[in-house]
């Protein structure tokens, strides 16, 4: 009954009309059919000769309404109406969930009082007018209303960019950011809000006061060293409010003291850089503890020690960069190699070459072979010695000479009229030779275009495309960077199909004020090529060093007797920690027929040293592979506990918001409620609703037929 009343109300009060897929003139026909049916049915019915006429008229009316509704439904009638809805403004609450939030003196009030007051003084007051969405952030953004304050890193810029993407074209009213302002990953967050079209209100947590503290703010060391060589370590020591005090910096390895220096603190805000040279004595993963002795009055002792891990190797790999002529690309590539101690780099120009290809583990050919220097002897030697090669093509490259070298790899570049075009890059999501992080992929796709040949490409089945070309914003299937192998897998090469890679290094510095992403990109390409692949039938790949917030991942491949990668093997892994506890895992089978890689994600593991043994069972054969890895602590959150409220103030000011403190949650709720720029959005939408969906019509017809049948029986009919 309520539905019928609501329908009648909607029809007369709201903007509602009746329409149909057929002409509405058919309604007259429905009325005519219903009248004729009821009139003829009861006109000369002998059963009702002695029945009063008003009773016959009533039965006839029941039949009329029933037939009308049934015939009316046959013309597919619909209600057309305007549906109004209100979209509340969205209020995003982002809570800094990192360790530094509860590492200050106000940690108890944050854990106990602050979380409760958020609910009572903020969320409850705003919930009626806003759609509140709660997030936590540290290294990553996560939708959650549970605050654990256990994240090991804080990336505030990525959090703001992610919110901007998620709520694009939504009614985002405001963002409330609760943090101590300390970030230790990503770029400065004040440069990350250009696409966030909403106000930002900040809740300042933590303590901005400077306390007595002597701590190691940063340690710089190479990740790789070589046995018998010395390697440098640079330590940055900071001391606050400890003028006149003395302390001591030490470096130890497995309890053995390797370096000691006494430090006299000369100022209340004191900085000293300490350089040390250590001898790499033992091969393998070596942990070095850098410690500063505690001084009386220090409040925070967590930042007095840092641990670094150095992978000590037996020998270096030699790389030859051979170029047709000077070019900025050469300097960009060398800048990456010079920062890697496991590489020894030589640059020569083809007109004055003195090096012997045999002496090098990797050859980088820049715009070679060229029209002036086809280098047949060098290419022949590269092929004979099976040296991995990186070709960087450019305007000087002789494509015909290059095709002669790559014919055994089934790679061919079909150039059109010696013309060129600018090509940007986008990442092939199916690429499996090495992992590409999201920041790296974003950097690559936002970098300047390379100058490439206007050409088509013929690729072999063994080609692995890392980056595709995008021209004038249109994605193509033309490779920009790819890796190939010869049919017998003895020769591997990579091709960068354009010159101008030096611009990517400049882009990295412009966007991030570092060269880290460019170094990561170039390092992965070179590392894959320089890796000496043993002819083994079971290969396991993993990192040697993980931090405590990284998932421990493994990749494996199994080969048959013809050295063809196969699926269907049973691959397992056993990890043992320093206390001889054993963890058992099974690798996932390859996901596709073309991808023969077995994958395993062992998740997060506690800090420490681990050994592992992987086992593959293929038919009746069993293969094993053993190695070690380390989980290192990540203590950046406790290194600096002085809150940075200035950055929170700047974020709020440049985004039409205000900064509030933990005790001002009531004022924050009032400020947001009174912000006239934050408004709901009213939507009007024309909708069609078929009458066949009205259940009450069915029940009405059923009731009419039932009542009519009962009255016919009661008044004397036996039909």
CATH number (domain holding residue 309): 2.60.40.10
Give me the helix-helix angle, 2-13 and 695-714, nearest 10°: 120
Select from 313, 333, 354 the last residue of a domain: 313
Q: Strand 412-427 vs strand 450-458: parallel, antiparallel, or unpaired?
A: antiparallel
Whether residue 173 sits in one domain with residue 74: no
Whether residue 653 sits in one domain with residue 694: no
Structural domain includes residue 719: no
Q: Any bridge partners for residue 151, and if so which? A: 98
Structural domain includes residue 115: yes
Average pLDDT, stretch 522-542?
83
Whether residue 263 sits in one domain with residue 117: no
> What count of other Cβ atoms lies within 10 Å of the Cβ of residue 40?
10
Q: Strand 474-485 vs strand 464-471: parallel, antiparallel, or unpaired?
A: antiparallel
Residue tagged 């170039």 (tokens): 522
699 exposure class (CB count in 10 Å sphere: 0-12, 13-18, 19+): exposed
d(CA 495, CA 452): 12
Count of structural domains within the chain: 5
Whether residue 203 sits in one domain with residue 219: no
Q: Any bridge partners for residue 621, and if so which? A: 618
- Tell which wins on pLDDT, 112 or 534: 112
Helix (H/G/I), strand (E/B), else coil: 468: strand
Whether the per-residue pLDDT at 540 is higher than 60: the answer is yes
The pLDDT of residue 489 is 67
Whether residue 379 sits in one domain with residue 301: no
d(CA 412, CA 402): 8
pTM of the complete model: 0.60
Helix (H/G/I), strand (E/B), else coil: 496: strand
d(CA 493, CA 463): 10
Whether residue 382 sits in one domain with residue 244: no
Whether residue 561 sits in one domain with residue 498: no
> What count of other Cβ atoms lies within 10 Å of the Cβ of residue 468?
20
Residue tagged 């290969």 (tokens): 539
Check residue 217 and give left, alpha or beta (phi > 0: left; psi -120 to 50: alpha): alpha
Whether residue 492 sits in one domain with residue 394: yes
d(CA 204, CA 659): 7
Q: Which domain holds residue 386?
A: 341-530
Whether residue 546 sits in one domain with residue 468: no
The DSSP output letter for 434 is S
CATH number (domain holding residue 373): 3.40.50
Q: Which of 376, 371, 408 has its CA nearest to residue 393?
A: 371
Flag the least confident range among 99-103, 115-119, 197-201: 99-103
Whether residue 107 sits in one domain with residue 159: yes
- pLDDT, one tens digit per residue, over 467-485 is 999 988 899 999 999 999 8
Whether the per-residue pLDDT at 4 is higher than 60: the answer is no
What does pLDDT average to over the chain?
86
Instruction: Provide the H-helix boundaries in 306-411.
Output: 328-338, 376-385, 399-406
Flag the least confident range among 69-78, 126-135, 190-199, 467-476: 69-78
Helix (H/G/I), strand (E/B), else coil: 511: helix
The pLDDT of residue 348 is 92
Whether residue 130 sits in one domain with residue 192: yes
The number of residues in the chain equals 719
The pLDDT of residue 291 is 94
Distances (CA, A) of 139 to 61, 98, 288: 74, 8, 26
Q: Strand 213-221 vs strand 230-240: parallel, antiparallel, or unpaired?
A: antiparallel
693 exposure class (CB count in 10 Å sphere: 0-12, 13-18, 19+): exposed
Whether residue 696 sits in one domain with residue 658: no
Structural domain includes residue 324: no
Give me the helix-helix angle, 695-714 and 53-73, nearest 10°: 150
């Amino acid at each position: 009954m309520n539905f019928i009343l609501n329908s009648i109300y909607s029809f007369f009060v709201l903007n509602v009309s009746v329409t149909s897929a057929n002409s509405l003139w058919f309604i007259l026909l429905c009325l005519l059919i219903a009248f004729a049916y009821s009139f003829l049915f009861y006109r000369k019915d002998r059963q009702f000769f002695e029945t009063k006429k008003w009773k016959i008229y009533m039965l006839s009316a029941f039949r009329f309404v029933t037939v009308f509704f049934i015939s009316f439904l046959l013309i597919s009638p619909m209600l057309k109406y305007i549906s109004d809805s209100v979209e509340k403004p969205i209020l995003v609450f982002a809570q800094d969930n990192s360790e530094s939030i509860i590492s200050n003196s106000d940690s108890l009030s944050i854990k106990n009082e602050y979380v409760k007051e958020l609910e009572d003084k903020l969320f409850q007051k705003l919930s009626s007018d806003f759609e509140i969405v709660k997030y936590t952030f540290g290294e990553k953004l996560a939708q959650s209303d549970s605050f654990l304050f256990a994240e090991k890193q804080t990336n505030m810029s990525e959090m703001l960019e992610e919110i901007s993407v998620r709520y694009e074209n939504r009614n985002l009213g405001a963002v409330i950011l609760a943090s101590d302002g300390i970030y230790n990953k990503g770029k400065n967050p004040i440069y990350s809000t250009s696409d966030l079209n909403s106000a930002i209100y900040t809740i300042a947590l933590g303590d901005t006061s400077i306390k007595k503290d002597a701590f190691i703010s940063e340690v710089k060391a190479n990740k790789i060293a070589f046995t018998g060589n010395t390697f440098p370590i640079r330590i940055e020591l900071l001391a606050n409010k400890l003028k006149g005090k003395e302390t001591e910096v030490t470096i130890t390895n497995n309890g053995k003291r390797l370096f000691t220096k006494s430090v006299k603190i000369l100022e209340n805000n004191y900085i000293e850089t300490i350089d040390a040279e250590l001898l790499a004595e033992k091969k393998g993963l070596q942990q070095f503890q850098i410690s500063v002795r505690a001084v009386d009055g220090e409040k925070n002792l967590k930042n007095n020690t840092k641990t670094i891990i150095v992978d000590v190797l037996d020998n270096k790999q030699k790389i030859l960069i051979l170029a047709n002529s000077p070019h900025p690309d050469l300097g960009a590539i060398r800048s990456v190699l010079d920062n890697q101690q496991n590489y020894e780099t030589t640059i020569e120009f083809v007109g004055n070459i003195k090096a012997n290809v045999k002496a090098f583990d990797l050859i980088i050919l820049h715009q070679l072979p060229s029209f002036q220097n086809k280098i047949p002897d060098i290419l022949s030697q590269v092929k004979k010695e099976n040296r991995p090669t990186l070709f960087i093509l450019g305007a000087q490259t002789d494509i015909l000479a290059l095709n002669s070298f790559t014919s055994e790899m089934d790679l061919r570049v079909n150039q059109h009229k010696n013309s060129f075009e600018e090509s940007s890059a986008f990442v092939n999501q199916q690429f499996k030779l090495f992992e590409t992080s999201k920041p790296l992929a974003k950097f690559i796709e936002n970098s300047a275009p390379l100058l490439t040949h206007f050409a088509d490409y013929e690729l072999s089945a063994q080609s692995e495309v890392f980056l595709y070309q995008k021209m004038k914003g249109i994605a193509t299937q033309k490779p920009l960077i790819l890796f190939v192998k010869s049919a017998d897998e003895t020769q591997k090469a990579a091709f960068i199909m354009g010159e101008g890679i030096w611009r990517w290094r400049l882009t990295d510095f412009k966007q991030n004020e570092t060269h880290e992403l460019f170094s990561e990109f170039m390092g992965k390409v070179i590392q894959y090529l320089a890796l000496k692949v043993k002819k083994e039938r079971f290969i396991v790949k993993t990192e040697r060093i993980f931090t405590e917030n990284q998932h421990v991942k493994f990749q494996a491949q199994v080969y048959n007797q013809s050295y063809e990668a196969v699926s269907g093997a049973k691959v397992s892994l056993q990890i043992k920690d320093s206390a001889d506890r054993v963890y058992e895992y099974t690798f996932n089978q390859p996901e596709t027929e073309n991808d023969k890689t077995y994958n395993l994600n062992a998740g997060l593991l506690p800090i420490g040293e681990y050994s592992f043994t992987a086992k593959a069972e293929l038919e009746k054969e069993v293969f094993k592979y053993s190695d070690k890895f380390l989980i290192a602590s990540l203590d950046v959150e406790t290194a600096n506990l002085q809150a940075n409220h200035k950055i929170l103030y700047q974020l709020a000011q440049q985004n039409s918001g205000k900064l509030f403190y933990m005790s001002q949650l009531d004022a924050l709720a009032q400020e947001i409620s009174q912000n006239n720029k934050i408004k709901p959005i009213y939507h009007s939408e024309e909708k069609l609703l078929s009458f066949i969906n009205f259940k009450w019509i069915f029940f009405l017809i059923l009731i009419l037929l039932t009542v009519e049948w009962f009255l016919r029986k009661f008044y004397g009919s036996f039909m």
